[in-house]
Amino acid sequence: MASKTGFIRKTSPYVRGEANVKRMMLDVLIALAPVTIFTIYKYEWTAVWIIAVAIISMVGTELVYYKLKKEPFTLKNGSALISALIYALILPDITPLWIVFLGGVFGMYFGKLVFGGLGANIFNVAGFARVFIVISFGAYLVYDLDTVAGATALGIVKEAPFNMMVLDNYPLWKLFTGVGEAGSIGELSGLLILIGGIYLFIRRSLDWRIPVSYIGTVLVLATVGALVTGADMSYPLFTILSGGILFGAIFMATDPITSPVTGPGRIYYGFGLGVITYFIRVFGALPEGVVFAILIMNMFVPALDYYKWANSKFTKRSVIVFSVVALLTIGLLIVGV
C-alpha cells in the first residue's frame, strides 16, 4: 500500500488563500465601468477614441517590450489595461489622439517597464503619462491640468479661491452627479466614482485608509480655509467634488504598488496627498494638482516605508510626530490665506 515515490517537495504553509492579482485587477475594471460608460455616453466617439488609443498604446507597449526581451508575456492580469483606462479617463476631451498615443507609449515605458515592470514601478503609470503630456504638449491641451473644457469650475475659482459668488454657477448637485458639467473626461461624476470606490471597498480591492485620509485631509484644510476667509461652508464640499480629487483618491492614489505598505504609512501618504493637492489649488500656479500630488507622494513612499521608522502599528511617537506636522500644516494654511 505504501508508495515510495511521487511525493512533492513543498514548504509550509501548504494551503493558500483565494486572493489573486487577476481578480483584484478585474475588480478595478468593474469599478471603473460606471465612470467609463458615463464618459462614453457624454463624449460619445471622442471618448471611445481616446480610450481606444490609450489602451492600444499602453498595452501594446508592454506587449512589444516583452516580445523584444523574449520574455513570455505572462502579465495577463490586466494591470496595463487598468493603467490605460485610468490614463484615458484623466485626459481632457480635446486631447489630440497622437498625443494620447505618445503619452501612452512614453508613460508605459518610462513609468513602468524601465523599472522592471509590474510591482517595481515607483510612479503611478497613468499619472506619469498624464504629466508627461502636460509638460511636453501643454499648448495642445489648451485647458490646464485636470480641469478642462472652457469655463471649468476650478478654472474660474482659481482667480479667487474663496469667492463663492462664482460658484453659484456650479451647484454641488451638478458637480456630484456630473450632469451638464465639464472636466477631464472621467472625472465628472462624483457619484459614479464613489460607487466604484464603494464596490472596491466591499471587495477589499482598495485600502480605505488612503482615500479616507486623502479626502479627509482636503475636507479639514478646506474647512479651515473657509473659516479663516469667512467663505460659505459649502466650499469644502465644492473642493472635493470639483476637479480630480475623488477620482484620484479612489482610483490612482490607491494603486498599491506606488503606495506605502503599512497602515499608518498609508494614512500619512493620504495626508500628504491631501496637503499637496489643496496647497496647489490655493497657493500654486495650477488650478489643480491631484496628479502632481500623487507623483510627488509616490517619491516619498520609500521614505515612508524605510525600515528604521516604518511600523505596522501606530506608536506613541509616530502619533505625536504626525499631530505636530498636521498642526503645522494647518498653521501654515491660516498664515497663507
CB atoms under 10 Å from CB of 67, counted, come to 11
Q: Which residues contact 5 (CB under 8 A, 6 or more apart)?
A: none
Determine if 19 is a binding residue for other proteins (CB under 8 A): yes
Contact at 8 Å (CB) between 88 and 50? yes
**Smallest gap from residue 270 Cβ to other proteins (A):** 14
The grid coordinates of residue 79 equal: 494591470
DSSP 3-state assignment of 76? coil
Determine if 24 is a binding residue for other proteins (CB under 8 A): yes
- Dihedral of CA atoms 143, 144, 147, 150 in degrees, nearest 10, equals -20
**Smallest gap from residue 248 Cβ to other proteins (A):** 18
The grid coordinates of residue 118 equal: 509590474
Determine if 203 is a binding residue for other proteins (CB under 8 A): yes
Residue with cell 512533492: 8
**Smallest gap from residue 92 Cβ to other proteins (A):** 30
Kindly tell me which of 266 and 281 has the beta carbon lying closer to other proteins.
266
Exposed/middle/buried for 57, CB within 10 Å: 0-12, 13-18, 19+? buried
Chain centroid offset of residue 109 CA:
19
Q: Which residues contact 43 (CB under 8 A, 6 or more apart)?
A: 50, 93, 185
Determine if 302 is a binding residue for other proteins (CB under 8 A): no
Determine if 21 is a binding residue for other proteins (CB under 8 A): yes
Kindly tell me which of 37 and 299 has the beta carbon lying closer to other proteins.
299
Determine if 316 is a binding residue for other proteins (CB under 8 A): no
Kindly tell me which of 117 and 274 has the beta carbon lying closer to other proteins.
117
Positions 142 through 201 that interact with other proteins (CB under 8 A)? none
Determine if 256 is a binding residue for other proteins (CB under 8 A): yes
**Smallest gap from residue 319 Cβ to other proteins (A):** 16
Which of 261, 299, 320, 321 lies at the binding interface for other proteins (CB under 8 A)? 261
Quote the CA–CA distance of 298 and 67 in Å, as a whole number. Answer: 29
Determine if 230 is a binding residue for other proteins (CB under 8 A): no
Angle of helix 125-141 versus helix 290-304 axis, rounded to 10: 150
Which of 45, 70, 168, 307 lies at the binding interface for other proteins (CB under 8 A)? 307
Contact at 8 Å (CB) between 197 and 187? no
Positions 94 through 123 that interact with other proteins (CB under 8 A)? 117-120
Determine if 296 is a binding residue for other proteins (CB under 8 A): no
Which of 39, 61, 262, 329 lies at the binding interface for other proteins (CB under 8 A)? 262
Determine if 17 is a binding residue for other proteins (CB under 8 A): yes
Quote the CA–CA distance of 244 and 270 in Å, as a whole number. Answer: 15
Sites of contact with other proteins (CB under 8 A): 1-4, 6-21, 24, 75, 77, 79, 117-120, 203-207, 256-257, 259-263, 266, 305, 307-308, 310, 312-313
